[in-house]
Amino acid sequence: MKEQQLIEGCRKGNRLAQKELYDTYSRKMMGVCLRYVSDRETARDLLQDGFVKVFTSVDSYNGSGSFEGWMRKIFVNCALEYLRKSDVLREATDLDNTAELIQPNNSVISDLSAAELMALVQDLPAGFRAVFNMFAIEGYSHKEISEMLNITESTSRSQFTRAKQLLQRKINELY
C-alpha cells in the first residue's frame, strides 16, 4: 500500500493498514524512542504508546508536511511525557556552574560510527539526553525546549552544554 492508502486505512480502523504502517515505521520510531530512554523495555513501551496515539489521532493529520515527521513528533512527545512523569528532567544545572568545554578532536569524532555515537548519547543522564536530542537532532530551539519541558531557557542551554561536555569526555576516553 502507498502511504496515503495506509493513512486512509488507519482512519477507517483497518487493522491490515495499521499493521503495515507499524511494520513500515516501527524501526525508525524505535530509534526515536531509544534516543530519549536508554532502557530497551521502556523504549518498547513508548513505541507501543506512540502507535496507539498515532492510530487514535490519525484524523488530525492534515497532509501538510511529511507523515513520518508528524509521527516522529508524536513519539518525541510520548518520550518527553514519560521523562516528565519520571521526574528525570529536574537534573538541572545553571550554565554559570558548568566547567569549560573540552575542545573536540574532529578527527576522533569522524572515526566514530553512527551506532557508537548513539550508544554514547544513550549513556547520557536522561535530562541531558532529552535536551541534546531535542536541540541537536530534532532541531528545536532552547525557547521551544523550555516550553515543552517546563524548564527555563538557561536550563535548556545548560543541559545541552553539559551533554556536549559529557559526550566529549566519553569520546576522549574511547580514543
Write out the chain's pLDDT in tens, 175 residues.
799 999 999 999 999 999 999 999 999 999 999 999 988 999 999 999 999 999 999 999 998 889 999 999 999 999 999 988 887 665 544 434 444 444 444 444 556 777 788 888 888 998 899 999 999 988 999 999 999 888 899 999 999 999 999 998 988 887 7
Cβ-contact 37, 82 below 8 angstroms: yes
What are the grid coordinates assigned to 136, written together? Answer: 541537536
Q: Taking Cα atoms as reference points, which of 47, 115, 121 lies closest to residue 79?
A: 47
**Where does CATH 1.10.1740.10 sit in the chain?**
3-86
Radius of gyration, alpha carbons of the chain: 18
**pTM for the full model?**
0.74
Class of domain 3-86: mainly alpha
CATH 3.90.550.50 holds for 89-174: no
Cβ-contact 58, 7 below 8 angstroms: yes
